[in-house]
Amino acid sequence: MTNSAPLDDIRRKRFALVRSGRWNEADRLAGNAVALGPGELEPGTLAYLPGSPRNGRWSRGVRALSFRAVQAANLGAGREEAVDAALRALTAVGTRDSGTFWQALMVLTYADEVAAAHRIWASKAGRGDVHDLLGGRIMLLRGDPRAAVRLLDGALGRGVHARLRAVAVAWLVLALTEAGEPDRARAVLESERLAGVLAEHPDSAELYFARGRLLLAEGQGAGALDEFLECGRQLASWGVVNPAVLPWRSSAALAAFDAGDLVLARICADKDLVAARRWGAPRGIGLGLHACALARGDDVLLEEAIAYLGRASTADEALRARHDLAQLLLGRGEVERARKHTRRLREAASDLCPQWIDAANVLASRLLRNDGESALSRQERRIALLARAGKSNREIAAELCLTLRTVEFHLTAVYRKMGVAGRPGLRRAFVPTA
């Protein structure tokens, strides 16, 4: 994979160490190799770093500094030190070394220092793949998916360096999904031949993640879950635990929730939140809280999640949390609060994310049809959850030891109380679990 035999050897040893659960020893091995290794090397061979343009022949000290920041970000501890190291490396080389520039800006985005990253990125005017791709990523994280699409699409159209292609496609798919254009996102994947089984690629985690988000937006929870879990498997083989690198666990929790696997949703959400708190960047914490809140049906946690996501996040993530909160409140019969959040969702969506306008309208019409008595009874809730997970009335009757007629009777009440037209509406709606 690299051009140097000793480096290949270190790379192999590193993967073996990670596989045996010796994460820190693996990172030390790689860190030493970068500090002492040959003049030019691709840091992405020794640590997870999507894209990973080569470091030039800059002093080994600078190279080791930015590499250490990447390693800290991957393990998800020591955020301040990582940011500090990234900034110092940037000061030392500026944009003259695209490898260092890439590493430092990636670390800043992982640490939610998006404003700083944007300032630095904008001050170093340039064209070229590295600049456009980083710009796309920064725009996406600043909540401007359309600008991200322009930059990434432009770069791909011109033809990016082969090593950067996968990550450019992955980020473009994410940006298109967030901009409410899933069809275009799907078309990009098809035309790049990245929609099917993926060949081994160092950045495939990014692709799996983007495909998962796309499936989630298309309402295919089970398929999305598979993509996220594969993304997690890829990252685990690299030794990445920080959800800021790719928030696959919280996304998997949302997908598992959609697919009706509440236990898996809770496990993914809890693990994610603990790791996000360890790293301490608000976006990750907000995503973790969102997933935990959904898995537990906890509106207070969701409000907290929105507060975190509002501080640092892509627009889509904050809107999704607001949408889920309105659904949760509606499901609980707290109509007034649900109405308030639906209104705010529509206001925010009309600026940036048109795909959420439809969702807000669906909520609003459900609220209109609502006759004031909408809290589900225990039995209704149980039946609604089973129906939502795709069970037929007959299967539900068998599982709960009821007659078919009783199930139908309860479901009618569920549809009326939730203000949905029938099973398809129910599938898109939120059923409180507790």
Partner 1 sequence: MSRWSADPGHDCAAAVAVGLLAAGENWTEAVQAAETALASPVCRANPLCVSRALGTLVCAGELVAADTHSLSLLEERPGDRVMAECVLLARACVARHTGDLERCSSLLATLRHNGIADEIRSVALLWKVELLVARGEARAAEALLVAHDVDARIKSGHPGRSLLLSATATVAMATDRPHDALEAHLACGRALAEDGVVNPGVLQWRSHASRAALACGDNEEALRLAMEEHAAAARWGEPRALGRSLSAVARASAPNGEDLTTYERAIRLLEMAHARLELAEVLCDYADRLTAHGRQAAACEIYALARATALDIGDTALVSRVDEVVGCADASGGPVLTPVEAEVARLVRTGLNNREIGTKLAMATRTVELHLTRVYRKLGLSGRRELQVTRWTGTLRTHRGVTGGYSG
Residues that bind partner 1 (CB under 8 A): 1, 11-12, 15, 19-25, 75-77, 196-198, 200-202, 204-205, 226, 229-230, 232-234, 236-239, 241, 261, 263-264, 266-267, 270-271, 273-274, 277-278
Q: Which residue has the tokens 């709960």?
A: 400
d(CA 104, CA 209): 22
What's the closest the beta carbon of residue 314 comes to partner 1, in angstroms? Answer: 25
What's the closest the beta carbon of residue 335 comes to partner 1, in angstroms? Answer: 32
Residue at 105: amino acid letter: L
d(CA 338, CA 326): 5
What's the closest the beta carbon of residue 285 comes to partner 1, in angstroms? Answer: 13
Identity of the residue, 177 or 242, whose beta carbon is nearer to partner 1 in the bound complex: 242
Q: What are 69's two structure tokens?
A: 């920041």
Identity of the residue, 15 or 409, whose beta carbon is nearer to partner 1 in the bound complex: 15
DSSP reduced 3-state for 259: coil
DSSP state, residue 44: G
Identity of the residue, 37 or 232, whose beta carbon is nearer to partner 1 in the bound complex: 232
Which residues have C-beta within 8 Å of that of residue 355, sequence separation ≥ 6? Answer: 180, 217, 349
What's the closest the beta carbon of residue 127 comes to partner 1, in angstroms? Answer: 31
Q: How far is CA 344 from CA 201, 325, 354, 367, 434, in A?
A: 41, 11, 14, 14, 25
Within 10 A of 201 (CB to CB), how many other CB atoms are there? 15
Identity of the residue, 163 or 410, whose beta carbon is nearer to partner 1 in the bound complex: 163
What's the closest the beta carbon of residue 27 comes to partner 1, in angstroms? Answer: 10
Contact 330, 366 (CB under 8 A): yes
Identity of the residue, 200 or 336, whose beta carbon is nearer to partner 1 in the bound complex: 200
What's the closest the beta carbon of residue 158 comes to partner 1, in angstroms? Answer: 28
d(CA 307, CA 312): 9
d(CA 274, CA 280): 10
What's the closest the beta carbon of residue 18 comes to partner 1, in angstroms? Answer: 9
Within 10 A of 344 (CB to CB), how many other CB atoms are there? 16
Stretch (H or E) spanning 106: helix 98-110
